[in-house]
Structure 1
Amino acid sequence: MVAKFSSISTRKLSKALTVLTRDKSMVATSDYGDFHKMVKRYVMSSMLGTSAQKQFRETRDMMVNKMLRTFHKLVTDDPDAPIVFRDVFKDELFRLSLIQSLGEDVSSVYVDEFGRDISKEEIYNATVTDMMMCAIEVDWRDFFPYLSWVPNRSFETRVFTTEARRSAVMRALIKQQKERILRGEARICYLDFLLAENTLTDEQLVMLVWEALIEAADTTLVTTEWAMYELAKNPEKQERLYQEIREVCGDETVTEEHLPRLPYLNAVFHETLRRHSPVPLIPPRFVHEDTKLAGYDVPAGTEMVINLYGCNMSKEEWDSPEEWAPERFAGGRFEVADMYKTMAFGAGRRACAGSLQAMHIACAAIARFVQGFQWRLREGDEDKVDTVQLTAYKLHPLYVHLHPRGPRM
């Protein structure tokens, strides 16, 4: 991904992803070139870069605070009932995604093509859930390209219908925000930045704003849910993290400023990325010039998929890889470069643009959750580790019993 970038930097997408990404009209899927460099600069400058992250710090803090209040309310209302972690985290994370991408937490929007208002839950389903499921739709013609002329009506109907629904919702959301801007209500958000640049077509604008919406709302949820599953399953490791937080923060609430001083939290984050790779398979790359990889001659035209799950579960590279053991990453200060130990965010010039934000949200949330509560799995859920969707989405949602540790944080 680094040394051979010049020969393997081109994306090769399945037919489903080609349709859903409007033929690579996004940062993550576009081929490396002028368009890719321009739009990656846009997203880093306005939303995901170090300086841009400071603009949304208050919003991230508000998100975590609201989740803690919701957990406390659920425990108070019924102390013995297990809590569905995903329901709480998903709602607040999507709220953050909406604010960063569009400038406000949208509760509903009128969609011309539907002839009605749709709710926030419907917006989420159309822009996130349905898209993640549709991305793994298999078209047998991907495997037999010489038969690509043969129609596959059922596949095409599913994919194009889902894509059309997503685009209709995104156009409605953007239209709503353009009306806000015309009223003189400018906001610090990705959409306002892109409109001010005035260099994109309407289709490119739709795709880039949708990309920001879905990527902030999915993989961070996946990683945080797996981290809390493992901490609830391993009380001794949860206690070690809690004691580290106590030593560093005392009675203070954990903040993002504390993260560099919490090495075991850092280890929990990276071990979760290793054991539960949020993106198990990197989208295929197209080898566009003859090259040599690991001693093998790889001809131009080869399709290549990097199996991150296989790399992170290799017994040649890791001791007892099937075991979730944060200790393997413990012993040092947190460094930004550590985010590439497991390649969870890729590497080289195609590394994930949102890696810093993912670390901020996941680590701060994990620390606050453990600082505020003792976590215990619902009985019988210890071995529920199956996944579904394009990312390593937990097939069985995390159910937990929470016990408040003390005063509300």
Structure 2
Amino acid sequence: MGTSWLLLASAAAALFAALLFGNLLWLRLQSSRADLEELEPLLLRLFLRYSPIITMRIGLPPPFIFVADRHLAHAALVGAGGVTLANRPPGAPNVLLGVSDSIITRTDYGPVWSLLRRNLVGEALHPSRVRRFAPARSWVRRVLMEKLREAGDAPDNVMDAFQYTVFCLLVIMCFGERLDEPAVRAMEDAERAWLAYISSPSQMGVFFFLPSVTKHVFRGRRETGRALRRRQKELFMLMPLINARREYKRQLMQEGKAAPANETTFRHSYVDTLLDIRLPIVALCSEFLNAGTRTTSTALQWIMAELVKNPAVQERLHAEIEAACGDGEVSEGAVQGMSYLEAVILEGLRKHPPGHFVLPHKAAEDVELGGYLIPKGATVNFMVAEMGSDGRELEKPMEFVPERFLEGGDGVGVDIAGTKRIRMMPFGAGRRICAGLTVAMLHLEYFVASMVREFEWKEAPGDAVDFEKFQFTTVMKKPLRPRLVATKR
């Protein structure tokens, strides 16, 4: 009896110590944005010292689990653990702010998720649908080139141009309507403010601990979040745009006419597929806009930064583009046949994945992973950047070498979706892999080819490219400020 009590007391003490350490660490990491940089290096040190799976007790059980090994990641996401780990943990900020989790990235694996994802992939992101927006991509390309020219030979921050033009394109794909710049800017600002607030550890992190108490103590923060959500619906026109599209479709059905197309109105849009479902359309449209804007624009910035630092790569890429396009404009058909362009994009995503962590997974039941027990309810995440920089798989993994993806290179045959095995996973893997993978690759190839064709990207005096980053968000600490020389070389 005494031994049993001693074992129980020891186990309780160990749990208390783990909770104390995890919570103190979490509070420290949330004390400021800069401190979030400490999370990834800390995890890497723990992986080296202990094992490829690390458990951290943050808040009350269940635990947080981080996986660094690509073989274990494949087993968890694609193999036997794929279904068990396909759920999502509830979004604490969403629950507190009354925002629905019934969106593709947040809802649990099941009938609702299957319906929403099938609709997105089949009706909005299917190649036949994506081709219909070729005129929109051509227009957005011209907007991007114009903004870069207006900025002069030394743009203050090309990231703003990237974000704006990508957001423009997604607005058209979402609502089937081309809007003027003030309207797009209002939408973009409102969306950015909302995302920045709900993802801010210093603002929303306090609700992670005892939300039933902290939601009363920090009522002001909840009200601010709710006000930003209302602004999404009203000020930046999501509901007006949705209602306008509904009326547009109703009139067409009454008149029995085919939907007309012109320079600003498109026959099909993502929101058209959502008008008859009983789910939060605003949240789904917001998800559509967010999912592709930040990730694509971040990837563009890193890739162009690497081309600035590697002029030989840029020169080879420019030669391929010239050979494929001749005197004509960069076309989508042409870029999809450029092997070196694809290699540059893949190497950029490998070395600089837009997110160093995937969206978290949740264990639906106990599951064994490589001899480790993942308990039911545990939140599981994966070290994306580590998967793509494994020196056992690739030579010189910290260098930017697109040639590794060409014939004879050690990256040939890499499956970016991680179906057979994971060597890089910038879009995640398994059942919850990013639904927009193919479209994202198209946009990255199209815009990179266009920018390299139009300008020579050089390092500006006094603005050397700095590859330091916020480890948690993967955005560049010092935004890219290149010198652009308009030339066809």
Deviates more, 1:315-324 or 1:268-277: 315-324
Residue 363 of structure 1 pairs with residue 445 of structure 2: yes
Report what 2:429 is aligned to: 347
Report matched runs for 1:105-120 at 5 Å. Answer: 105-107=178-180, 120=184
Distance 2:238 2:177 in 1: 10
Change (3 A) 1:25 1:386: farther
**Residue 359 of structure 1: CA displacement?**
0.8
- Is contact 1:219-1:391 (8 Å) kept? no
**Residue 344 of structure 1: CA displacement?**
0.9
Identical-residue share of aligned pairs (%): 29
User: 2:214 is paired with a residue of what secondary structure?
Assistant: coil
Change (3 A) 1:243 1:83: farther
Report what 2:30 is aligned to: none
Change (3 A) 1:66 1:20: farther
Match of 2:170 among 97, 100, 111: 97
Distance 1:395 1:230 in 2: 15
Report matched runs for 1:185-200 at 5 Å. Answer: 187-195=267-275, 198-200=276-278
**Residue 181 of structure 1: CA displacement?**
4.0
User: 1:393 is paired with a residue of what secondary structure?
Assistant: coil
Distance 1:155 1:319 in 2: 50
Report what 1:209 is aligned to: 285
Residue 330 of structure 1 pairs with residue 410 of structure 2: no
Report what 1:115 is aligned to: none
Q: Scaled by the length of structure 1, what TM-score is found? A: 0.84
**Residue 158 of structure 1: CA displacement?**
3.3
Q: RMSD over aligned Cα, in angstroms?
A: 2.9
How many pairs were matched up?
387
User: 2:395 is paired with a residue of what secondary structure?
Assistant: coil
Structure 2 counterpart of 1:191, which letter? V
Report what 1:65 is aligned to: 142
CA deviations on 1:347-403 (whole Å, 9 max, x unpaired) are 122111111111111111101111121101223443523435964223322211111
- Is contact 1:21-1:29 (8 Å) kept? no
**Residue 150 of structure 1: CA displacement?**
3.3
Residue 178 of structure 1 pairs with residue 260 of structure 2: no
Distance 1:345 1:165 in 2: 28
Distance 1:249 1:20 in 2: 50
The structure, 1 or 2, with the larger RCO (C-alpha pairs under 8 Å, 6+ apart) is 1
Match of 2:205 among 124, 128, 139: 139
User: 1:9 is paired with a residue of what secondary structure?
Assistant: coil
- Is contact 1:268-1:326 (8 Å) kept? yes
Residue 316 of structure 1 pairs with residue 392 of structure 2: yes
Change (3 A) 1:177 1:25: closer
- Is contact 2:416-2:425 (8 Å) kept? no
Q: Scaled by the length of structure 2, what TM-score is found? A: 0.71
- Is contact 1:260-1:334 (8 Å) kept? no
**Residue 259 of structure 1: CA displacement?**
2.9
In terms of Rg, which structure is larger? 2
Change (3 A) 1:14 1:374: same
Structure 2 counterpart of 1:97, which letter? L
Report what 1:387 is aligned to: 469
Which consecutive unaligned segments of at least 5 residues does structure 1 have? Answer: 109-117
User: 2:292 is paired with a residue of what secondary structure?
Assistant: helix
Distance 2:403 2:477 in 1: 27
- Is contact 2:305-2:465 (8 Å) kept? no
Residue 161 of structure 1 pairs with residue 224 of structure 2: yes
Deviates more, 1:171-180 or 1:299-308: 171-180
